[in-house]
Structure 1
Amino acid sequence: MTLGFAMLVHTDFDRAAEVARYFAGNDCPVAIHVDAKVPQKVFRAFRDDLSDQTRVRFCRRVRVEWGTWSLVRATQNAASLLLETFPEVRHVFLASGSCLPLRPVAELRAHLDAHPETDFIESVTTDHVPWTVEGLEAERFTLRFPFSWRRQRALFDGYVRLQRRLGLRRRTPEGVTPHLGSQWWCLTRRTLESILSGPDRARMDAYFSKVWIPDESYFQTLARHHSTKIESRSLTLAKFDVHGKPHIFYDDHAPLLARSDCFVARKIWPRANRLYATFLDDTRPASRRADPNPGKIDRVFSKANARRGEGRAGLYSQARFPGPHYSGIPTCARYNVFCGFDDLFDGFRPWLARRIGGRVHGHLYAPDRAEFADDATVMNGCLSDSASLRDHRPAQFLTNLLWSTRGERQSFLFGPRDRQDLTAFLARDPNATIAVISGAWAVPLHRSDLSFEAMMAEAARLQRAELDFLRLLRAPGTIARTHLWTLADFVVQPEANLDGVLDEVAPPEPRRMQALPPMRDMSALLEFLPRLRDAGIKLQVTGDFDASPGAVPRAREVRHVG
């Protein structure tokens, strides 16, 4: 049995010539169609390069455009020339100029000899399988498409909407059930001649010439009409991304391609020198071969498609920037946010760094600058402490920081004095652990040198900001881990309350006994809060303090945690 190849070429002619020589050198006739858009000078050079190959022919050229009948016409011309010129051909394999054989031609010929009457062509109905990616399925057979999808997209979409609105429909030829499938097939001479020389060819051509992307349905449908036995699969490995565009294979894909056991693969990067050198060498050591099974590598491509479409948690690119309703995890790693603790405890930040490890930053969203750990001005990933750069995209500032320092848990301080643009982001991030002592800002405020009127204005401003943050943290849609206390509740049992947070955020290892940092002096707080209340500022975030003398801890009171 003789195997012939019909090749469709429009670019990278040196690679196409290399593959055509390989086929012809293995006693396989080749009929080549070159896109009529290719300049005549380039075409002649390509044809002259293969003039020494007696088993290579060039068919009549057609100006090809994606998604149109011209691609089917080009295939018909190449297949007809191959059948007419080489009567010994019993199977015709359709390939492109970017295809590369993965197994010796002798193995493909042996496979076809074992299945002499079988047509290998993917062929499914739209009723049974959702085959199309981001495109029309059943409507491609019932609507008309006089406009180019690529060059005249607005007219294409508008005319489709108009036909739907008016209820216009084309009739499918009697006795034909439209099928879809991969463009790349291997058909028997008998089936292909029945398609190309049948008495109903003119009627079928007229119908399919108005179908959208007919190269995915013409042979797939008519093979069902004429074939005696079909295996609905392609012998060519062709993988597509989430947008329906073909994956391109590079040199580092060599083991993956070999593992598929497929006979041919597309689309190969033209400068993948190692792939061409490896797979066009029939002297390479033989390996145990099985029937083509691209399903063995489907998992790899599924993961690649998912990563391309969704990205990695916490890593964004301009082409994949999450929208307002993004449902994935926005950050790449767990992190901690402590609110109010530095207002209550003296030296809380260095103490926390010693206590839980990792990197403990100050107020990353302070109004004047990002307070990085160790007072750094630049962090991993070239993140600057500039407030203006940070505030351009506050959430992405945090995601970039976490991505650049992944492997090391980050903690930072936050409060109502900071920029509040990040609060909604923190509330909906499952990687965030947020501990809040609400009203703790009153501790440094009541000891400040401000006038009482200025204190009142500042207290009102800080309480509004903190109430908005607490409202987000208590909302039903919040998925961050939260620990919330009022100032009055926290100071009653500071050891136990803080210990509960540290149990969650510290590494799972025995903890050493370590003194809590000293609590700031709050002796005058019981006088300050009623004074604010009587002046018209009702503090809702501090909680209710007992008026007894021991209700508020004194300065420098040391607590211990186990």
Structure 2
Amino acid sequence: MLVHTALGRAEQVARHWAAAGCPVVIHVDKKVRDRVYDKFRETLADEELIRFSPRHLCTWGAWGIVAATQDAAEMLLRDFPEARHVYLSSGSCLPLRPVEELKNYLRARPHTDFIESATTADVPWTVGGLDEERFTLRFPFSWKTQRRAFDWYVDFQRRVGFRRRIPAGIVPHMGSQWWCLTRQTLQAILTDPQRSEYDRYFSKVWIPDESYFQTLTRKHSVHVESRSLTLAKFDFQGKPHIFYDDHLQLLRRSDCFVARKIWPHANRLYRAFLTDPAGAMKKREPNPGKIDRIFSKAVERRTRGRAGLYMQSRYPRDGWEGGLTGTKYSVFQGFAELYEDFEPWLARTTGFRVHGQIFGPGDAAFAGGQPVINGALTASATLRDYAPRDFLTNLLWNTRGERQCFQFSPRGNQAVTWDMAKDLNAQISVISGAWAVPLFRADRPFSEIRKEAARLQKVEADFLHALRSPHAKARVRIWTMAEFVEAPMEPLQLMIDEMGARTARRLSEVPQMRDLDGFGQFLQDLKNQGMHPYLMGDFPTTPAEAVPATEPEEKPRKPRRPYLVQK
């Protein structure tokens, strides 16, 4: 048993093994103070089956852990000749099943060595580390405490082409540190005539406790089962999962004999597995794969999260959010400019919540004029423009379960254009050039209208470029204003159908299109003043051709406001 911390728990587990007739040799890390170590030995002095091996300094990734294991194994084999298997565990390991079941299991397999052992080409679990190079390079610096020197020296050896010679007769293997070997195999490893050569070689290998016994077992074993009887799970960064009290049922489902790493304060786990052997586990073949699905989901949740919901560790990493938004939504550009009361009509037709211009100009125009909506999200332009992307994410996450629709405009904040274009949840419908309708109806000097038209056209052109980019993943529909007003019913029906509205019937009601009488001449005036409005399409100058009737009956048109054309 390799002990580093939580000596009280290590004492409890060691007594549990000894009470079942298992001899125990304990190695305590030399980093533990002598006063604490001496007290620990005194507390176990009454146990005849417990020994303490010489202490080594156990630094992660260094040779000390292997040296400590060798000394402890030699002592156990020397002092307890009746031992047939040797089980390596740590002070944070916890037996999950009655020890007698483990003894019977090993008694039925007297020549089997249980050790995870695979070649570097077959190992999928090395995370952020080295595979073959851990056996061919030197590692005089600590990866944990001398990271810069470690990385520099590894890079230096790569550049000069340095390679260590692997001793003849062995093929490097890797696997879990926690094994259970037969007496014959372990004795053969420790008394191998070439042990001094192997020790010198592996003392310079990176993380030798995951390769020393794994490699030499392949040389001496009669029968290897490449698996560990200890349940040990690791996260996507290669760090071990820690088991807490609420993992009790999960550990029982594994059917494994031993688990690590147990939280020292998991009183419920220690009480359940150490003091209730009859009800701890059922007699089954160890099968950690039964809970692999749960750990896979945990890793996926840890790395990808939930779409539209960020956590502190994931938020600063672009692309780690697992999806910008949490639900589908619809964006409309140009419809509110072209149609009167478009938002109320869309809400009645689809049954969805329809907002106005939530990205401005001005405060967010939430449905019904609400100043605050779900999740205490305010309409304040100041808060929205501080983090527009987060504003969109929060709006959709807080209202998930109900499809949100909102208007977008080149007049508003454009910070989320690319985010929406790359969002699989977005359905974006655009009538290009419709931003000119409010300018056409505005009572302003034409010089100002021309400058504003040029600005808005450039902004919308950038938005359309994002929507047509090969990186865009949103469902996008773009119509020029000319082709839309020529036959508006088909685009409206297509748009409603794609939204998945509650009605599948053909549209029986359409919104009232604004008066466009003279709009073609307005565009011609812009051209005459030096501004080329190309996003509207080929819009006729003749009023009769430019404005088709949306209803069979002609209605008197309101006179539009005049504008001043400078000569």
TM-score, scaled relative to structure 1: 0.92
1:230 corresponds to: 224
Corresponding residue number in structure 2 for 1:250 = 244
Give the whole-Å Cα distance in 2 for the aligned partners of 1:350 and 1:41.
78
The aligned counterpart of 1:193 is 187
User: Which residues in structure 2 correspond to 1:114-513 (within 5 Å)?
Assistant: 114-285=108-279, 288-321=282-315, 329-510=323-504
Unaligned 5+ runs, structure 2: 555-567
User: Are 2:538 and 1:551 aligned?
Assistant: no
Pair 1:318–1:288, CA change in 2 (3 A): closer
Of stretches 171-180 and 276-285 in structure 1, the one that deviates more from structure 2 is 276-285
Please give the secondary structure, in 2, of the residue aligned with 1:72: helix
Of stretches 189-198 and 136-145 in structure 1, the one that deviates more from structure 2 is: 189-198
User: What letter is aligned with 1:466?
Assistant: E
Is the partner of 1:96 in helix, strand or coil?
A: coil
Pairing partner for 1:26 from 3, 13, 20: 20
Partners of 1:461 and 1:554 lie apart in 2 by: 31
**1:424 aligns to what SS in structure 2?**
helix
Q: Separation in 2 of the partners of 1:325 and 1:95? A: 39
Please name the residue that 2:99 is paired with. Answer: 105
CA distance in structure 1 between the aligned counterparts of 2:125 and 2:421, rounded to whole angstroms = 40
Q: Offset of 1:557 from its aligned partner?
A: 9.5
Q: CA RMSD in A?
A: 2.4
> SS of the residue aligned with 1:207?
helix
CA distance in 1, matches of 2:273, 2:406: 55
Moved more, 260-269 or 348-357: 348-357
Pairwise CA distance, 1:526: 3.1
Shift in CA distance, 506/267, structure 1 to aligned 2, threshold 3 Å: same
- C-alpha change, 1:495 and 1:161, in structure 2 (3 Å) is same
Aligned to 2:565: none
Does the C-alpha gap of structure 1 residues 168 and 512 become closer, same or farther in structure 2, counting only changes over 3 Å? closer
Q: Is the 8 A contact 1:518 1:557 kept in 2?
A: no
Post-superposition CA distance 1:72-105 (Å, at most 9, x none): 1121222222222222211111111111111111
- How far did 1:439 drift? 1.4
Deviations 1:439-474 (A, max 9, x none): 112222111122111111111111111111112222
Q: State the one-letter code of the partner of 2:59.
A: E
Look up the SS of the partner of 2:512 in the other structure. Answer: coil
After superposition, give the CA deviation of every residue in 1:480-503 in whole Å (9 maximum; x if it has no partner): 111111222222222322111011
Contact 2:97 2:281 in 1 (8 A): no
Is the 8 Å Cα contact of residues 309 and 397 (structure 2) preserved in structure 1?
yes
The answer on whether the counterparts of 2:309 and 2:325 sit within 8 Å (CA) in structure 1 is yes
Of 157-166 and 359-368, deviating more is 359-368
Corresponding residue SS for 1:89: coil
Percent identity over paired residues: 57
Q: Return the offset for 1:514.
A: 5.4
Query: 1: distance between equivalents of 2:353 and 2:139?
Result: 60
Unpaired stretches in structure 1, ≥5 consecutive residues: 1-6
Per-residue deviation, 1:322 = 7.3
Q: Is the 8 A contact 1:131 1:181 kept in 2?
A: no
Distance 1:419 1:558, change over 3 A: farther
Check the 8 A contact 1:522/1:553 in 2, yes or no.
no
Alpha carbons 2:304, 2:321 under 8 Å: kept: no
Give how far 1:424 is off.
1.4
2:31 corresponds to which residue? 37
Q: Is the 8 A contact 2:3 2:91 kept in 1?
A: yes
Distance in 1 between the 2:123 and 2:37 partners?
A: 40
- Give the whole-Å Cα distance in 1 for the aligned partners of 2:135 and 2:472: 48
Partner of 2:85: helix, strand, or coil? strand
SS of residue paired to 2:345: helix
Q: Cα–Cα, structure 1 residues 405 and 13, in superposed 2: closer, same or farther, change >3 Å?
A: farther
What is the CA–CA distance in structure 2 between the aligned matches of 1:496 and 1:555, rounded to whole Å? Answer: 13
Deviations 1:25-53 (A, max 9, x none): 21112111111111223323333333333
Q: Which amino acid aligns with 2:56?
A: V
Aligned partner letter, 1:218: Y
CA distance in 1 between counterparts of 2:24 and 2:519 reads 92
Partner amino acid, structure 1, of 2:380: S
Assess if the C-alpha contact under 8 Å between 2:307 and 2:321 holds in 1: no
SS in 1 for 2:51: strand
For the structure 1 residues 214 and 330, does the alpha-carbon distance in structure 2 shift closer, same or farther, using more than 3 Å as the test?
Answer: same
Match of 1:4 in 2: none
User: 1:260-305: per-residue Cα shift (whole Å, max 9, x none)?
Assistant: 2111111112222222222223444376533212222222222222
- Would you say 1:90 and 2:112 are equivalent positions? no
Which of these residues, 9, 17, 20, is aligned with residue 11 of structure 2? 17
d(CA) in 2 for partners of 1:557, 1:41: 99
For residue 159 of structure 2, what is the amino acid of its counterpart? R
Does 281-290 or 160-169 show the bigger shift?
A: 281-290
Aligned length: 553
Q: Which amino acid aligns with 1:136?
A: L
| Aligned 8 A contact 2:305 2:322 in 1 | no
- Is contact 1:519-1:557 (8 Å) kept? no
Match of 1:48 among 39, 42, 55: 42
Letter in 2 for 1:393: A
For 2:281 and 2:121, locate their aligned partners in 1 and report how far apart those are by CA, in whole Å: 40
Contact 2:25 2:50 in 1 (8 A): yes
> 1:553, CA displacement in angstroms?
5.4
| Alignment match, 1:528 | 522
Q: Distance in 2 between matches of 1:359 and 1:538?
A: 37
TM-score normalized by structure 2?
0.92
